[in-house]
């Protein structure tokens, strides 16, 4: 299945619906899974009993809207453009501000791979505080806030719960720093979403070419593919050639917030020579990416010169790329990290575009052995200090977390993070709960991710089966996203999120009534469920191939209920 095959039909039994805002002229896209009726025979007559529908979060954007024609050469509709303009606090620049961006633009040899349509970047008017956090703190509910409130209330109407999540509640959570809405004013194509403990658990996927592989079209394809399966945000971790142009293509076609790690590109600009990294190069990279529309940056500003020595006592040293780069820079120059010393300046830049900062955990443990060690928790305390500094600039903050952690050490991570970082949302990679299963790390980490999300992690970063071994392909992306949709949903159920269990209950009822199509349509991966079923399907639909006709417990249960009622 390629991008051209992604449409509403690829979610069988589903239709795209839009829920209108009441405060703003917004339309919140969702997927409605329509169920078939239950059929019973009463006095020889078929009686149909309606099973209604289930509404699920839809991260696929208009790619699955049959009324919208998409073209990756043109990019997605700019849904937020008018909302931003209506606030009247941003200006459109005459052109690109970053030196690097201008250089790339001037390079005619890049015309062939360049995204065709160019929009001049927007930036806050001088003196204006335009971030979602600034609005929230000022007591203002934005269109984005109403959008995410509607989006989080998926099945509450069916449950008789009227607006569990209100726009005002969203505002309060954002104002308190307990939730963020990553929404760069230069990525108006993204549909707003929220990351916070009080909301449904979100999942991030990573894509990106490396020096070894992957072209632009493949990366765009992978981005949309990830959104199709359910990725809530997307990090572009490209480190190979043409990352500036690749990023432009991805952002213009991505309906979810996009994150990056700017130090990767900065390092490419100095040909991989860590010693040559400077604040000026990094700063130009930030501006370049802010103007392109990156919604959040991973910044490893908590890695300090004094932490370098702690790496030696570890079994796997520093496994964060950004963290190891900055540590090396500190050691080479015997100086404090420029990310730390220039952090306020960084925040000033980010605030002009409403780019959120994801404070990177450069000291995350890369093995069970190194979990919850001194290096890790010392850095966490620094991230807490940086959180407060970012909030002073109204910059939205999330905190990155591990990594490799055995189950019994998971909760300590969440508790410490909440305390050290003043309840800023936690965003963790897995964690992997054992080191011994390369090839299956989507599973070793889904175990940890479900667990840590239950305790309060707001967003989990997926791990694919290829982790530690190679770059993921499309099938790996699918497997990684589904494993993490499972982990996120298991956590939502455990958190007692209203509405979360509606889909489970609908599935269970369909299962008990042998409504196979509904079972497929309700599942996280309808295509795979259907395929497994069809491959070994018996003639009689009324039992699974597992048990055989005499042994179906559910069929016998139905008989028992009937016998007891007769």
Our measurement of the distance from residue 454's CA atom to the centroid of its chain's CA atoms, rounded to an integer in Å, reads 17
Q: Rounded to 10 degrees, what is the CA torsion of 483, 485, 490, 493?
A: -170
Of 145, 212, 211, the C-alpha closest to 175 is 145
Instruction: Compare residues 106 and 436 and give the one whose CB is closer to its own copies.
Output: 436
Instruction: Compare residues 397 and 463 and give the one whose CB is closer to its own copies.
Output: 463
d(CA 83, CA 293): 16
Please, which residues have CB within 8 angstroms of residue 44's CB and are 6 or more apart in sequence? none
Of 429, 446, 436, the C-alpha closest to 364 is 429
Instruction: Compare residues 143 and 326 and give the one whose CB is closer to its own copies.
Output: 326
**Paired tokens of 285:** 């990279």
Tell the smallest beta-carbon distance from residue 262 to its own copies (Å). Answer: 14
d(CA 292, CA 122): 10
Tell the smallest beta-carbon distance from residue 345 to its own copies (Å). Answer: 25
Tell the smallest beta-carbon distance from residue 182 to its own copies (Å). Answer: 24
* Burial grade of 254 (CB within 10 A; 0-12, 13-18, 19 or more): buried
**Paired tokens of 261:** 């790690």
**Paired tokens of 260:** 């990056």
Tell the smallest beta-carbon distance from residue 536 to its own copies (Å). Answer: 4
Residue 57 to residues 52, 243, 350, 376, 504: CA-CA distances in angstroms? 17, 30, 29, 34, 14
Residue 239 to residues 5, 76, 350: CA-CA distances in angstroms? 29, 25, 22
d(CA 312, CA 168): 48
Tell the smallest beta-carbon distance from residue 329 to its own copies (Å). Answer: 10
Instruction: Compare residues 351 and 522 and give the one whose CB is closer to its own copies.
Output: 522
Tell the smallest beta-carbon distance from residue 2 to its own copies (Å). Answer: 21
**Paired tokens of 465:** 């089966």
Residue 162 to residues 24, 149, 499: CA-CA distances in angstroms? 19, 12, 11
Tell the smallest beta-carbon distance from residue 426 to its own copies (Å). Answer: 17
Helix and strand element counts for the chain (H, E):
21, 17
E-strand ranges in 342-435 read: 356-359, 397-401, 426-429
Tell the smallest beta-carbon distance from residue 220 to its own copies (Å). Answer: 20
Residue 150 to residues 156, 169, 252, 338: CA-CA distances in angstroms? 10, 12, 24, 41
Instruction: Compare residues 283 and 451 and give the one whose CB is closer to its own copies.
Output: 451
Tell the smallest beta-carbon distance from residue 26 to its own copies (Å). Answer: 28
Instruction: Compare residues 396 and 479 and give the one whose CB is closer to its own copies.
Output: 479
Instruction: Compare residues 110 and 493 and give the one whose CB is closer to its own copies.
Output: 493
Tell the smallest beta-carbon distance from residue 71 to its own copies (Å). Answer: 31
Instruction: Compare residues 105 and 437 and give the one whose CB is closer to its own copies.
Output: 437
d(CA 186, CA 182): 11
DSSP-based three-state secondary structure for 16: strand
DSSP-based three-state secondary structure for 559: helix
Tell the smallest beta-carbon distance from residue 229 to its own copies (Å). Answer: 12
**Paired tokens of 304:** 């300090």
Tell the smallest beta-carbon distance from residue 314 to its own copies (Å). Answer: 8
Of 18, 143, 11, 23, the C-alpha closest to 68 is 18
**Paired tokens of 322:** 């950004």
Tell the smallest beta-carbon distance from residue 27 to its own copies (Å). Answer: 26
Q: Exposure string (b/e) for 475-489, b if CB count within 10 Å is 16 or more?
A: ebbbbbbbbbbbbbb
Instruction: Compare residues 218 and 435 and give the one whose CB is closer to its own copies.
Output: 435
Instruction: Compare residues 12 and 95 and give the one whose CB is closer to its own copies.
Output: 12
Main-chain phi, psi angles of 497, to 5 degrees? -60, 125
Instruction: Compare residues 122 and 300 and give the one whose CB is closer to its own copies.
Output: 300
DSSP-based three-state secondary structure for 415: helix
Instruction: Compare residues 124 and 432 and give the one whose CB is closer to its own copies.
Output: 432
Instruction: Compare residues 45 and 334 and give the one whose CB is closer to its own copies.
Output: 334
């Amino acid at each position: 299945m390629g991008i051209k095959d992604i449409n509403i039909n690829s979610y069988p039994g589903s239709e795209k619906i839009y829920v209108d805002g009441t405060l703003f002229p917004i339309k919140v896209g969702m997927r409605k899974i329509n169920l078939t009726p239950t059929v019973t025979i009463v006095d020889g007559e078929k009686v149909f009993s309606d099973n209604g529908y289930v509404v699920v979060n839809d991260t696929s954007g208009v790619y699955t809207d049959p009324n919208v024609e998409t073209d990756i050469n043109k990019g997605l509709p700019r849904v937020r453009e008018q909302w931003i303009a209506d606030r009247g606090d941003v200006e459109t620049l005459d052109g690109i501000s970053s030196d690097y961006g201008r250089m790339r633009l001037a390079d005619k040899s890049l015309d062939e791979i360049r995204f065709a349509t160019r929009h001049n970047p927007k930036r806050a008017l001088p003196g204006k505080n335009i971030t979602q956090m600034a609005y929230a703190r000022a007591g203002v509910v934005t269109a984005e806030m109403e959008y995410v409130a509607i989006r989080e209330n998926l099945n509450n109407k069916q449950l008789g719960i009227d607006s569990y999540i209100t726009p005002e509640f969203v505002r309060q959570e954002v104002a308190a720093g307990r939730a963020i809405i990553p929404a760069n004013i230069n990525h108006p194509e993204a549909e707003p979403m929220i990351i916070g403990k009080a909301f449904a658990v979100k999942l991030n996927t990573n894509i990106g070419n490396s020096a070894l592989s992957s072209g632009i079209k493949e990366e765009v394809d992978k981005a949309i593919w990830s959104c199709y399966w359910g990725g809530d945000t997307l990090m572009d971790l490209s480190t190979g050639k043409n990352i500036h142009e690749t990023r432009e293509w991805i952002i213009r076609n991505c309906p979810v917030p996009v994150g990056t790690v700017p130090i990767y590109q900065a390092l490419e600009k100095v040909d991989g020579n860590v010693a040559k990294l400077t604040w000026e190069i990094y700063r130009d990279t930030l501006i370049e990416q802010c103007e392109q529309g990156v919604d959040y940056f991973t910044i490893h500003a908590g890695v300090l010169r004094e932490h370098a020595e702690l790496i030696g006592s570890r079994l796997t040293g520093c496994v964060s790329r950004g963290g190891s780069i900055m540590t090396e820079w500190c050691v080479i120059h015997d100086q404090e990290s420029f990310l730390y010393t220039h952090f306020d300046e960084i925040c000033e830049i980010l605030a002009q575009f409403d780019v959120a900062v994801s404070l990177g955990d450069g000291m995350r443990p890369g093995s069970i052995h190194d979990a919850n060690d001194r290096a890790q928790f010392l850095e966490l305390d620094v991230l807490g200090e940086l959180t407060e500094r970012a909030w002073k600039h109204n910059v939205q903050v999330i905190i990155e977390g591990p990594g490799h952690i055995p189950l019994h050490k998971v909760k300590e991570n969440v508790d410490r993070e909440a305390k050290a970082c003043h309840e800023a949302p936690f965003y963790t990679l897995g964690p992997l709960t054992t080191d011994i299963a390369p090839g299956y790390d989507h599973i070793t980490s889904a175990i940890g991710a479900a667990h840590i999300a239950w305790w309060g992690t707001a967003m989990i970063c997926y791990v694919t089966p290829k982790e530690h071994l190679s770059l993921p392909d499309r099938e790996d992306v699918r497997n990684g996203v589904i494993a993490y949709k499972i982990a996120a949903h298991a956590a939502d159920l455990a958190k007692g999120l209203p509405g979360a269990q509606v889909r489970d209950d609908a599935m269970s009822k369909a299962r008990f009534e042998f409504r196979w199509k509904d079972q497929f349509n309700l599942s996280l991966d309808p295509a795979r469920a259907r395929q497994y079923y069809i491959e070994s399907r018996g003639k009689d639909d009324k039992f699974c191939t597992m048990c055989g006709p005499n042994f179906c417990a559910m069929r016998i249960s139905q008989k028992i209920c009937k016998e007891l009622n007769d």
